[in-house]
């Protein structure tokens, strides 16, 4: 199984990934951790808004919308 490493904003709708690490720091990093975006967390891209930004993700039993600016700082391994 070949894992594909990409930022969360590049994850296609309907696909799933596993959080590898966060590139953010400070309060922004703390917010991501509080949302449950810790290493090895499973995350699924559900749908994009009509404008294309933000995107809704399914994380630990909750649907959370993230702007692509924030999602770019979350590095994941795509799951087949």
Q: What is the rounded average pLDDT of the residues 31-58?
A: 93
Using the predicted structure, report yes or no on whether residue 1 has a pLDDT greater than 60.
no
Q: What is the pTM of this model?
A: 0.88
The full set of domains in the chain, from first to last, is 4-79 (2.30.30.90)
Using the predicted structure, report yes or no on whether residue 2 has a pLDDT greater than 60.
no
At residue 79, the pLDDT reads 87
Percent of the chain with pLDDT over 70: 98
The helix or strand, by DSSP H or E, that contains position 71, with its residue range, turns out to be helix 68-71
Q: How do residues 6-43 score in pLDDT, each as one tens digit?
A: 999 999 999 999 999 999 999 999 999 998 999 999 99
Please tell me what DSSP assigns to residue 72: T
Query: 32 and 22 in contact (C-beta within 8 Å)?
Result: yes
């Amino acid at each position: 199984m070949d894992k594909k490493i990409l930022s969360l904003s590049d994850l296609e709708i309907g696909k799933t990934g596993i959080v590898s690490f966060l590139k953010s720091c400070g309060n922004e990093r703390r917010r991501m951790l509080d949302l449950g975006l810790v290493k090895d967390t499973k995350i699924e891209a559900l749908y994009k808004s009509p404008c294309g930004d933000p995107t809704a993700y399914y994380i630990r039993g909750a649907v959370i919308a993230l702007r692509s600016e924030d999602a770019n700082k979350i590095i994941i391994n795509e799951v087949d």
